[in-house]
Amino acid sequence: MKIPLQITFKNMEPSEVVEAHIRDAAQKLDVFYDDIMGCRVLVETPHQHHRKGKKYHVRIDLTVPGAGFVIKRAPGLLTDRPTRFRKEPDETELEESRELSKYAVHDDIQLTIRDAFDAARRKLQDYARRRRGVVKAHEGPPHARVARLFPDEGFGFLETPDGREIYFHKNSVLDHEFSDLQVGAEVHFTEEMGEKGPQATTVKPVSHHGR
């Protein structure tokens, strides 16, 4: 976490035990997303208005590159509609968790905090998956070179930039015939795990125009 964790208590006395619980939970978020810019946590007990017992509210504000998240946990609360940051050249969105808390009406502060951080973890995991999808879309399919060919048997091996060898069958070759391939030719491929290890399910020779 690049900016130190900020913890605020409202309408209640600060608690070292609660603060330690929050710090431990916040530290674990880095395991699920290692580029968290900042995290602010608000713990409060709203005015009870003749209600019996305390009901704790927890709000977590997370900031990551390109986005922000708000997770609220309060008695019977579903969060409001998504809020947006002030528009910048690259507009970012502030998303709010819309899940109904399992412990929304619980008077145990540690359960409420745990529930809020569980929701924060899920938001970070979803965001990380979306980011990986965007990166892969921009990067395009992985590439390799034909390392070995066995024409009589109808298969060959690719060598990836990191030195791995990947098996492929002649039927996986796209837009060209298997017999047209040459050792050293550059290809794009799709990889999956087979029974005997990684294999290329599609192999597409790269066309170099102008040669």
Domains parsed from the chain with CATH numbers = 6-139 (3.30.160.100), 143-205 (2.40.50.140)
Mean pLDDT of 118-147: 75
Give yes or no for a contact between 185 and 208, defined as CB atoms under 8 angstroms apart: no
Contacts of 152 (CB under 8 A, 6+ apart): none
DSSP 117: H
Comparing 21-35, 59-73, 78-92, 197-211, the range with the smallest average pLDDT is: 78-92
Cα 176 to Cα 136, 187, 192, 205, distances in angstroms:
25, 11, 21, 7
| Mean pLDDT, all residues of the chain | 76
Say which residue, 54 or 71, is predicted with more confidence.
71
Would you say residue 74 has pLDDT above 50? yes
Cα 16 to Cα 43, 98, 174, 179, distances in angstroms:
13, 30, 63, 71
How far is the C-alpha of 197 from the C-alpha of 86, rounded, in Å? Answer: 49
Gap between the terminal Cα atoms of the chain: 49
Within a 10 A sphere around the Cβ of 11, how many other Cβ atoms? 12
Would you say residue 2 has pLDDT above 50? yes
Sheet holding 93-96, edge to edge: 6-10, 38-44, 57-64, 67-73, 93-96, 83-84
Q: What is the pLDDT of residues 17-47, one digit of tens each?
A: 999 999 999 998 888 777 888 899 999 887 6
Give the pLDDT confidence score for residue 31 in this predicted structure.
Answer: 81
How far is the C-alpha of 140 from the C-alpha of 136, rounded, in Å? Answer: 6
Q: Give the pLDDT band (50/70/90) at residue 140.
A: low
Q: What is the pLDDT of residues 147-193, one digit of tens each?
A: 999 999 999 999 988 788 899 999 999 988 999 899 999 999 888 87
Using a cut of 0.85, tell me whether the model's pTM lies above it. Answer: no
Give the pLDDT confidence score for residue 87 in this predicted structure.
Answer: 34
